[in-house]
Amino acid sequence: MKLDISKISGKASGKKINLSDKIFAIKPNDHAIYLDVKSYLKNQRQGNSKVKGRSEIIGSTRKIKKQKGTGTARAGSIKSPLFKGGGQIFGPQPRDYKNKVNKKVKDLARKSALSHKIKDKSLTVVENFTLKSPKTKDFFKILTSLSVENKKSLLFLAETDKNLILSSNNISNTIVKNISDINTYDIINADNVIFIEESVSKLNEILD
């Protein structure tokens, strides 16, 4: 499969790039995408919510009133969940939300997500570029030229570029990532996926 390479000005460069059919032209497997996205979101959870139970509350264990004759229910401790400041019943405790997906399923999910983007014509390859200094204005100008300034955009770099990453930090609907950090959730969540030319060959090494 061949795709036109665009300049950062938004115009066609006149060059084309070969995209692997094994990555960009497969029949998308939506269930694999679902499994990988679910796993990714679960792994983002910290699982450190915690409340104090009855045994963890600091307080006297003295029986606060006599057993009978008060006209009210029995009460054996001020730490009872029934009293203000007492322990909480069945409250959240620290837990591990980690969820593992097999590498073959993860690879299939990423390929499926990229194939969806190709079919939707929401994947772009641009010529290699960099910024001399981190400037949001310059980066936003590039997004405007590519007509994605008002859309959720995901830009993949071949290698970490500090100036590009810093330039994108103040643009809420744009994510810039190293191609080695590619994941299904980011691809599906983006309206437009943009690859810098060099990052495509790196992607082939990761997924092909």
The mean pLDDT value of the chain amounts to 93
Could you give the 3-state DSSP secondary structure of residue 130? coil
Taking the C-alpha atoms of residue 188 and residue 132, their distance in angstroms, rounded to an integer, is 31
| Total length of the chain | 208
| Residue 154 pLDDT > 90 | yes
Dmax over Cα atoms in the chain, in whole Å? 94
pTM of the entire structure? Answer: 0.82
Contacts 24+ apart (CB under 8 A), 136-143: 136/167, 136/168, 136/169, 136/170, 136/171, 138/167, 139/164, 139/167, 139/168, 139/171, 140/171, 142/8, 143/171, 143/174
Taking the C-alpha atoms of residue 172 and residue 139, their distance in angstroms, rounded to an integer, is 13
Q: What is the pLDDT of residue 138?
A: 93
Which residue, among 148, 113, 132, has the nearest Cα to 10 in the 3D structure? 148
**What kind of fold does domain 2-45+98-207 have according to CATH?**
Ribosomal Protein L4; Chain: A; (3.40.1370)
Q: What is the pLDDT of residue 59?
A: 87
Q: How far is CA 156 from CA 46, 123, 129, in A?
A: 27, 11, 12
Domain boundaries defined on the chain: 2-45+98-207, 48-96
pLDDT digits (tens, 9 = 90+) for 12-60: 888 999 999 999 999 999 999 999 999 999 999 999 999 999 999 998 8
For residue 92 the two structure tokens come to: 């959240």
Strand partners, 117: none
Confidence of residue 76 (pLDDT cuts 50, 70, 90): confident
Q: What is the pLDDT of residue 14?
A: 87
Taking the C-alpha atoms of residue 68 and residue 87, their distance in angstroms, rounded to an integer, is 24
Q: What is the pLDDT of residue 147?
A: 92
Q: Are 182 and 40 in contact (CB under 8 A)?
A: no
Q: At what angle do helices 103-119 and 30-44 cross, to 10 degrees?
A: 110
